[in-house]
């Protein structure tokens, strides 16, 4: 039996056990102040400065 066949035979619609309805709800938030967010902010700031210095209109 393939992995997908096993998954489908154990699914709720095929009479398999399903605990998803009993899971505790968890409020999740995106991480803050990550390296990626900091770097993105720096790049956007440098692009904005460059566009102001060169006299071009900023697209944002």
pLDDT digits (tens, 9 = 90+) for 8-59: 888 888 888 878 788 888 889 999 999 999 999 999 999 988 888 776 555 5
Task: Give the pLDDT score at 14.
Answer: 84
Sequence-distant (6+) residues with CB within 8 A of 14 are 8
pTM for this model (two decimals): 0.41
Q: Measured between alpha carbons, how far is residue 15 from residues 6, 8, 32 in Å? A: 13, 10, 41
Is the Cβ–Cβ distance between 47 and 53 less than 8 Å? no
Rounded distance, CA 45 to CA 49, Å? 6
Rounded distance, CA 23 to CA 26, Å? 9
């Amino acid at each position: 039996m393939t992995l997908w066949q096993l998954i489908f035979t154990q699914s709720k619609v095929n009479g398999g056990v399903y605990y998803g309805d009993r899971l505790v709800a968890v409020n999740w938030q995106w991480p803050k102040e990550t390296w990626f967010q900091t770097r993105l902010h720096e790049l956007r700031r440098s692009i904005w400065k460059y566009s102001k210095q060169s006299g071009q209109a900023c697209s944002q």
